Chains A and B, each alone.
Chain A
Amino acid sequence: MATFLNTLLQNIISGPATDPFPFGETFSPKRVRGLIRIDRDLCLGCGMCRHVCAAGAINIQRNSLGWTITIWQDSCCLCRSCVTYCPMHAMSIDPNWHSAHVEEDKYKRIEQHTISYQPCARCGTPMRVMSLERAKELYAADPDIDPEEIRHLCRSCRQIRDAEQSTVCMLRSDISTAPAAEKS
């Protein structure tokens, strides 16, 4: 009993253990998961994030001009799967945890980007230009390829270009050179 009285006394001396939030600062770690953000310069619209999202918080709407990627922040369960599996590292977590909002704003808390296609530098097919960093990373092992050039080519032209430039050219019958049908 005496032990606990001692504990109580210490608690009285040391004051409240809770932070004075919202009137003062509170513990806010750097890695806290607040909101999911998309880097529109990196997104390729591949749909991997939507595929792994257990909460169904991500939607990708496509048309002939490009696509619109939307994240409903209120549906997101912050499981970080999209950040983990995004092949382009376009998704990130913002540590802003101030997510309290009024009821009428619940559908407005979204992260939305509309990204347009650009014509392929060779054949003119509408396509997405890959970021330079990612192109450098992907073709790091192949010094014959110029990342700046290859990132402006569509998938079919990229394969052809890759084959033309490579010192080792393997003939593979399973690579289709026909333009890939756009997924909906």
Chain B
Amino acid sequence: MAIEQKAGSTFNIPLGPVHVALEEPVYFDLQVEGEIIRGTTLHSGHVHRGMENLAQHRNLIMNQTLTERVCSLCSNSHAFTYAMVVENALGIKVPERAHYLRTLTEEIKRVASHLFTLAIQAHLCGFESLFMHTMEIREIMQDVKESLYGNRMNLAFNCIGGTKFDLDQECFDFLEQSLEKFMPQFREVLDIFETDPLICARIQGTGILPKEEAIRLGVVGPVARGSGLNIDVRKETPYAAYGKVDFDIVTRDGCDLYARTCVRLHEVLESVKIIKQVIRDIPEGETRVHMTHIFPSQAVARSEAPRGEVIYYIRTNSTEIPERLKWRVPSYMNWEALGVMLRNAKVADAALITNTIDPCVSCTER
């Protein structure tokens, strides 16, 4: 497409709706002035599946499986938060071992999810060999998921009142061995992402989201932490076993793509730290309690998904079909920030900047 350059004139460039960054549909209408983006209008709704309505026609146990399919990369966070919200509403007390198992699962998913985003970032930078290498390391975590839970993406491990099954010592041994294999390889990649001149030249100073804007837009997760905001649901309101494990919130003040990349890289290290503590401290005992009765109630639960805060709301009546189930996902908060990040950026960086919020379009539109 030949764009005639005139001083002061703007053009509209459509970007999307397919394969902007990931294989998820979102449509941008970019107002550009030459090579520079001056304004962005975001159109969504391409993957609306009516999941909130579907949830209101299924029983509480079926919804456990349904909510897991809201998103693929943070599938466990949805199922986990859904289980928590039902437990909150019906006053179910989850066994201690289940809390630890849930924490373990969530962190394994977080490692895999962050590595996936980082790999896509390398791909969008044009560094294909690093993309392949990062995906190869992620494969170690995928093998862990497959060996421990039986599935690679939708783990289907959480259920109302605990977890669907228990993990034995063999699983923990395999996990430890995998971590031993994973860590040296990950440190190598971490070093490349942080110091490689090709990556740094592309991402440093790009996609700026100043701290004030981050507060104004209410961004969550690694996007907020990359802009110097010290927020993490795992620390603010510890759920599952997060109150009993030691970990740090990773923040960076760079406000750019590089800062967010560093946040994700170091969060992987924190997640590995949590996994090791869980393996060491996990108590013995039951993993599930039964849901004995359902009564009219309402509750909210929130958790820190790989992309940020997930909030679930449920209102039950006396039947096993919920009257209302609603959730707010991190990408909904974060993609408003794209308007700020894309302003005055180059058209060529649009896909890279879109990827930096780790967009989950299917979560947001459900």
Contacts and interface: CB of A to CB of B under 8 A. Distances in A.
B129 A32 contact: no
Interface residues of B, number: 36
Contact of A11 (B64, B133, B149): B133
A78 B61 contact: no
A27 to B, nearest CB: 6
A79 B197 CA distance: 44
A79 B146 contact: no
Contacts of A55: 65
A8 interface: yes
A77 to B, nearest CB: 7
A31 B149 contact: yes
Q: Which of A4, A79, A84, A93 has the most chain B CB atoms inside 10 A of its CB?
A: A79
A27 B146 CA distance: 10
Contact of B150 (A4, A32, A77): A32
A73 to B, nearest CB: 15
Contacts of B62: 52-54, 81
A83 B150 CA distance: 13
A155 interface: no
Interface string B54-96: 0000110111111011000000000000000000000000000
A17 B151 CA distance: 21
A7 interface: yes
A81 B64 contact: yes
Nearest to A29: B147
Contacts, number: 82
Majority secondary structure, B binding face: helix
Interface in A1-18: 1, 3-4, 7-8, 11, 17
- Report, as a range, how many residues of chain A touch the other chain: 20 to 34
Contacts of A54: 58, 61-66
B55 to A, nearest CB: 11
Interface stretch (B4-12, B188-196, B203-211, B216-224): B188-196
A146 to B, nearest CB: 28
Contacts of A80: 150, 156, 164-165
Interface string B152-173: 0010100100001100000100
A51 interface: yes
A181 B195 CA distance: 73
A35 to B, nearest CB: 12
Interface string A83-109: 111000000010100000000000000
Interface of A: 1, 3-4, 7-8, 11, 17, 27, 29-33, 51-55, 77-81, 83-85, 93, 95
7 contacts: A3-B191, A29-B143, A32-B146, A51-B61, A54-B66, A78-B150, A78-B156
Interface of B: 58-59, 61-66, 68-69, 129-130, 133, 136, 139, 143, 146-151, 154, 156, 159, 164-165, 171, 188, 191-192, 195-198, 288
* A-B pairs with lowest CB-CB distance, top 9: A54-B65, A33-B150, A29-B147, A54-B62, A79-B65, A79-B156, A84-B164, A52-B61, A31-B150
